[in-house]
Structure formats: structure tokens, C-alpha cells
């Protein structure tokens, strides 16, 4: 068993090492650096902070700013703040789509869902419990939806990497419920009761993770002193129903047949975005 498809079908997830280089990742990192800078200056102008922490690195600055105001992230991930041409170019990156193509063929749609996650040290909000992505995407369990997850810094057990329960995607979607005081829905029957085999990912910046909408995964607490930045977005075979998903309005075809051509331009995506009803709901 060694092809991408074999490993993915067996485990429900796949890590491709060195899939992207710094030329692929730098534009989204620069965009995040700009967003952090803008938000920092907003806090400074409101006199919420007295230091803009300009000398701090990508891995530290946002945390230093929030610590100075005694705050944590308001939300588990950034959406509208990071909507950009840099993000579009990453979602339509030829290397990313080539890997997706090995799993679902050459007619690929981007599902419209994307997040940049500033996972802070010791932060509960961004520590996701065991879940399957279909628990958050109603009526998707009968189809295959792929999450691409890219670490923007090296990730490991210390700074809150992801863990997977290999093969758990074969057992269908569990029932979820809300627990008082918890931000996320959790499965009524904890998956670890039937799975002892937990895979803990150790990934470098440039590695690419893809996972199935039914495989159980979670993210660990970030026990480091720095921010675990990552970006994730979702795809499916063109024509797979996205009915009723909040991000359907900003989905687009990303690859057509044999010619590896992306039929959608940045301008096309901007038109969808500008008329979509959801964008004011998210940070």
C-alpha cells in the first residue's frame, strides 16, 4: 500500500511531505502579517494597548498583542479577514489540485469553506475535541468532501498538532450533541472507546494534510509559547451537492477535466463574494 489513494482510503487522511515551498506559502503568510498589523494598530488607536509589538515575529506578535489587552481570540478562526487574492491563489494552487486529483479525479470544486487559525498558547477555544467534519456540514455524510490543512509553522505535540483515528471514516457519521460550557458539538459516544490507535501528526511548514469528512480528528492544546498558525479549505468532486451549506454561495469550480485549467478567476470569486450573504457573519 503506497499510493496516495491507497493510504487515504485506508486511513481517511493523508500527509504529503514537502508539497509546497515558501513561494507557495509566503503570500498567505504576508497577508496574515498585514491583518495582524492592522488589528494591532486598531487596538493601539483605541488605546487598548500601548505597545504595537512591532519587533515580534509571525509566531509571537498576535499573542503578545492579545496578552497585553488580557484577551484571547474572539473566534476559533479567521474568515472574512483573510479573504484575499493570496488565499485564492493557494486554493487554486496547481500542486494542491494535483494532489486532490489523485484522490477524486480531475473535476474539482472548491466548497467555499476556508479558515486561517491563530491557535494561541493554552487556548481552549482553538482546541477542537474529537469530531468528523460532516458534523458541521449538514447532509454531507453520503458524499466525499476533502479538507486540505496546511501548517504555516512546523507543528507537533507541543504546539497543538492534529490527531487522527485512522480508519474511523468507515463507520459513518456519529450523533453529536452540545455540552454546556463547550464551544463545539461532541459525539454522543466518544470515538476513543472503540479506537486505541491514535495517530499524532508531526508536520513541517510545506507539508500538506488532506482528510475525509468522516474521519475522526481533534487538535491538541498548544502548550508552546508561540502561535500555531494554519490554514484550511475544502473541496469535492464537481457536482457534489453543497445544498444548504452556508459557504455554497462562494464555492467555485477549481479544475476542469484533463487540461488542469482553473475555470475561475480571482475576479469571478470576488463577484461571488460580494453578493454572498454570509460574509458579515464572520471575522
Ligand X SMILES: O=C(O)CCC(=O)C(=O)O
Query: Which residues are near ligand X by CB under 6 A?
Result: 117, 119, 128, 133, 147, 149, 217, 219, 230, 232
Kindly report the number of other CB atoms within 10 A of residue 144's CB atom: 15
Nearer to ligand X, 53 or 217 (CB): 217
Q: Whole-number minimum distance, CB 89 to ligand X, in Å?
A: 20
User: Between residues 40 and 147, which has the closer beta carbon with respect to ligand X?
Assistant: 147
| Shortest Å distance, C-beta 117 to ligand X | 5
Query: Which residue sits closest to ligand X, CB atoms considered?
Result: 219
Distance CA 111, CA 96 (A): 15
Least spacing, CB of residue 121 vs ligand X, in Å = 13
Is residue 110 within 8 Å of residue 251, measured between CB atoms? yes
Minimum distance of ligand X from residue 186's CB (angstroms): 13
Separation of CA 146 from chain center = 11
| Nearer Cβ to ligand X (204/261) | 204
The backbone torsions φ and ψ at residue 177, rounded to the nearest 5 degrees and listed phi first, read: -145, 160
Contact criterion met (CB below 8 Å) for 90 and 28: yes
Q: What's the closest the beta carbon of residue 130 comes to ligand X, in angstroms?
A: 9
Give the residue among 146, 139, 121, 152 at the shortest CA–CA distance from 235. 146
Instruction: Give the chain's end-to-end CA distance (angstroms, integer).
Output: 42
Closest to ligand X by CB, 53 or 233: 233
Rounded CA separation 149/115 (Å): 10
Q: Which is closer to ligand X, CB of 53 or CB of 228?
A: 228
Query: Residue 263 Cβ, how far from ligand X at the closest point, in Å?
Result: 26
Task: Please say which residue, 44 or 184, places its beta carbon nearer to ligand X.
Answer: 184
Minimal distance in Å, beta carbon 82 to ligand X? 14
Residue 239: other Cβ atoms inside 10 A: 10
Per DSSP, 12 falls in state S
User: Under DSSP, is residue 268 helix (H, G, I), strand (E, B) or coil?
Assistant: helix
Q: How far apart are CA 14 and CA 210, in angstroms?
A: 5
Find the farthest-apart pair of alpha carbons in the chain and give their distance in angstroms, rounded: 58
Phi-psi region of 147 (alpha: psi -120 to 50; beta: other; left: phi over 0): beta
Q: How far apart are CA 216 and CA 179, in angstroms?
A: 18
Closer to ligand X by CB, 207 or 262: give it. Answer: 207
Amino acid at each position: 500500500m503506497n499510493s496516495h489513494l491507497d493510504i487515504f482510503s485506508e486511513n481517511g487522511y493523508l500527509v504529503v511531505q514537502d508539497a509546497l515551498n515558501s513561494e507557495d506559502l509566503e503570500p498567505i503568510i504576508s497577508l496574515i502579517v498585514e491583518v495582524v498589523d492592522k488589528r494591532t494598530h486598531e487596538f493601539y488607536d483605541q488605546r487598548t494597548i500601548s505597545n504595537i509589538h512591532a519587533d515580534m515575529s509571525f509566531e509571537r506578535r498576535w499573542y503578545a498583542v492579545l496578552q497585553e489587552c488580557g484577551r484571547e481570540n474572539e473566534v476559533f478562526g479567521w474568515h472574512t479577514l483573510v479573504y484575499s487574492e493570496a488565499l485564492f491563489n493557494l486554493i487554486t494552487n496547481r500542486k494542491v489540485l494535483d494532489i486532490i486529483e489523485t484522490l477524486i479525479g480531475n473535476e474539482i470544486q472548491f466548497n467555499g469553506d476556508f479558515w486561517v487559525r491563530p491557535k494561541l498558547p493554552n487556548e481552549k477555544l482553538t482546541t477542537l475535541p474529537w469530531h468528523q467534519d460532516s458534523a458541521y456540514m449538514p447532509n454531507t455524510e453520503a458524499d466525499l468532501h476533502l479538507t486540505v490543512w496546511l501548517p504555516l509553522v512546523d507543528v507537533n505535540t507541543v504546539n497543538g498538532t492534529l490527531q487522527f483515528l485512522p480508519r474511523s471514516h468507515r463507520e459513518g457519521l456519529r450523533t453529536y450533541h452540545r455540552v454546556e460550557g463547550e464551544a463545539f458539538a461532541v459525539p454522543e459516544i466518544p470515538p476513543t472507546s472503540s479506537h486505541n490507535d491514535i495517530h499524532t501528526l508531526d508536520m513541517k511548514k510545506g507539508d500538506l494534510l488532506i482528510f475525509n469528512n468522516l474521519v475522526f480528528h481533534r487538535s491538541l492544546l498548544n502548550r508552546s509559547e508561540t502561535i500555531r498558525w494554519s490554514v484550511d479549505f475544502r473541496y469535492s468532486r464537481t457536482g457534489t451537492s453543497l445544498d444548504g451549506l452556508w459557504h455554497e454561495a462562494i464555492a467555485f469550480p477549481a479544475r476542469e477535466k484533463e487540461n488542469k485549467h482553473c475555470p475561475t478567476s480571482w475576479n469571478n470569486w470576488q463577484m461571488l463574494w460580494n453578493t454572498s450573504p454570509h460574509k458579515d457573519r464572520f471575522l
